């Protein structure tokens, strides 16, 4: 029996041990190399954050140069040119008519914490401190920092950790906004913000156009701030640069991370719309939030290189073409009866799994499926009663065919073991 390493691996039982074929030692392009010398095709682009391929040379070179030219510069009470340039580039990319300012952070969870703080301060500074409720969606995932952990709509042991959810509410997205509307009728004067993922990371459930239109109408009626968590969906993942580009109106805050640096650096950013940016500037208010590693020169260099690479590959056209192939593949699995449903948007796909009696798979069952598919040579992501495909944009026809064989083989192996 392999003994657990000193490293405490995330999101698994503490006694989990790994054999060499599960210990990664390198990654290049869309493949991961393991300690036993084997390789697997990665159909998850890392943790969804490496859409431009592992070891992308343009991004690696940009980060390397920044570490030589300015190994560290802080954003505490002073700017630096690297962060200024990256912020300007992000606003230009997302649309200067939609966003005015950028706050750098270090992770999606930390950025969600910052967004909750910022929206509450926006109201408090204007004498509306009672507007402190933040509303999220059931089944959502925003991170596991103390604020974002409370906002996440999945059961993630929040009660065990003493996460304070007294100023957080959760509603369904599957009812076209009825529950949200009812909540706002009762407590709208106390709601600071509504935070949504355009595609819920847990289960790859895309918000319907009906829900989004109603959400925007409810913002007009009740005045709350709208935060779009595009940590997972930003930078072409759903077929447009940002999923919210399809919305009739922009959110007040756009949160990005993951693909922001193609996984090269721990980074996130909040793109702030004119409503909030103007109020803070006119009021001279100080936002009390700072992170030591936020917006460092290396992070900023990675952001700029990613933006250049997205333009080089014409990311929207590339992602849309790959998405069409992936959805056809997933539909064949559904037509062949090996998966129960297909969810998601663009290159962010979930496939639901069921037992022969129609009941959903448990978390343990899903991990067994993921392991069996890995044994067949491809890495996929576990979801609630589902697996997810979130591949890099450079996936080839051969990669898609390899994914097809591995998923079919892994599912067949698990079915055989069960019967």
What number is the average pLDDT over the span 112-118? Answer: 97
Question: Looking at the domain 57-312, which fold is it?
Answer: 3.40.640
Burial class from Cβ neighbours inside 10 Å (0-12, 13-18, 19+) for residue 327 reads: middle
What is the pLDDT, as a whole number, of residue 417? Answer: 63
Q: For the chain, what is the largest distance between any 2 Cα atoms, rounded to a whole number of angstroms?
A: 67
- Per the CB < 8 A criterion, the answer to whether 51 and 393 are in contact is yes
Query: Quick one: pLDDT band at residue 161, thresholds 50, 70, 90?
Result: confident
Q: How confident is the model at residue 419 (pLDDT cuts 50, 70, 90)?
A: very low
Q: Is the pLDDT of residue 3 over 70?
A: no
pLDDT for 415 equals 80
Is pLDDT of 360 > 90? no
CA angle 9, 12, 16 (to 5 degrees): 75
Among 123-137, 195-209, 336-350, 404-418, the minimum mean pLDDT is found in 404-418
Instruction: State the pLDDT at residue 318.
Output: 98
- The conformational region for residue 223 under phi > 0 = left, psi -120 to 50 = alpha, else beta, is left
Q: Specify the CATH number for 314-418; select among 3.90.1150.10, 3.40.630.30, 2.130.10.10, 3.10.450.50.
A: 3.90.1150.10
Distance (Å, rounded) from C-alpha 37 to C-alpha 63? Answer: 28
Question: Is residue 284's pLDDT more than 50?
Answer: yes
Model confidence pLDDT, tens digit, residues 55-104: 999 999 999 999 999 999 999 999 999 999 999 999 999 999 999 999 99
* Contact in structure between 82 and 70 (CB atoms under 8 Å): yes
Question: What's the mean per-residue pLDDT of the chain?
Answer: 95
| The predicted structure's pLDDT at residue 170 | 97
Over residues 221-260, the pLDDT tens digits come to 999 999 999 999 999 999 999 999 999 999 999 999 999 9
Residue 369 pLDDT more than 70?
yes
Predicted pLDDT of residue 414: 86
> How high is the pLDDT of residue 416?
72
Domain boundaries, the chain: 57-312, 314-418
Helices (H), 205-314: 209-222, 274-283, 297-312
Query: 30-45, pLDDT tens digit by residue?
Result: 999 999 999 999 999 9
């Amino acid at each position: 029996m392999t003994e657990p390493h000193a490293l405490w691996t995330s999101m698994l039982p503490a006694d989990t041990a790994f054999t060499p074929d599960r210990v990664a030692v390198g990654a290049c392009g869309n493949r991961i190399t393991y300690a036993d010398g084997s390789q697997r095709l990665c159909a998850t682009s890392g943790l969804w954050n490496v859409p431009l391929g592992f070891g992308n040379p343009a991004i690696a070179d940009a980060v390397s140069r920044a570490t030589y030219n300015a190994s560290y510069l802080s954003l505490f009470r002073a700017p630096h040119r690297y962060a200024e340039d990256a912020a300007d580039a992000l606003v230009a990319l997302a649309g200067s008519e939609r966003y005015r300012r950028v706050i750098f952070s270090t992770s999606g969870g930390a950025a969600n914490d910052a967004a909750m703080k910022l929206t509450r301060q926006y109201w408090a500074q204007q004498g509306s401190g009672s507007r402190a409720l933040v509303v999220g969606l059931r089944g959502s995932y925003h991170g596991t920092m103390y604020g974002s952990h409370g906002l996440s709509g999945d059961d993630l042991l929040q009660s065990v950790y003493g996460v304070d959810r007294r100023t957080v509410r959760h509603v369904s997205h599957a009812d076209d906004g009825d529950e949200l509307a009812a909540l706002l009728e009762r407590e709208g004067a106390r709601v600071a913000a509504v935070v949504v993922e355009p595609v819920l990371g847990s289960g790859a459930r895309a918000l319907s156009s009906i829900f989004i239109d109603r959400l925007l109408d409810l913002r007009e009626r009740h005045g709350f701030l709208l935060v779009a968590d595009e940590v997972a969906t930003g930078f072409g993942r759903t077929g447009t640069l940002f999923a919210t580009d399809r919305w009739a109106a922009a959110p007040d805050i756009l949160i990005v991370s993951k693909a922001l640096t193609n996984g090269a650096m721990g980074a996130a950013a909040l793109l702030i719309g004119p409503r909030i940016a103007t109020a803070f500037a006119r009021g001279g208010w100080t936002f009390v939030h700072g992170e030591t590693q936020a917006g460092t020169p290396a992070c900023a260099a990675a952001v700029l290189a990613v933006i250049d690479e997205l333009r080089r590959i014409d990311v929207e056209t590339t992602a849309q073409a790959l998405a069409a192939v992936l959805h056809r593949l997933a539909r064949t699995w559904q037509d062949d009866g090996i998966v129960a449903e297909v969810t998601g948007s663009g290159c962010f796909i979930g496939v639901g799994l069921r037992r022969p009696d129609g009941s959903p798979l448990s978390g343990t069952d899903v991990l067994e499926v993921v392991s069996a598919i890995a044994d067949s040579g491809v890495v996929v992501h576990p979801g609630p009663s589902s697996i997810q495909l979130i591949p890099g944009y450079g996936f080839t026809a051969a990669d898609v065919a390899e994914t097809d064989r591995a998923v079919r083989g892994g599912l067949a192996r698990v079915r055989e073991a069960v019967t």
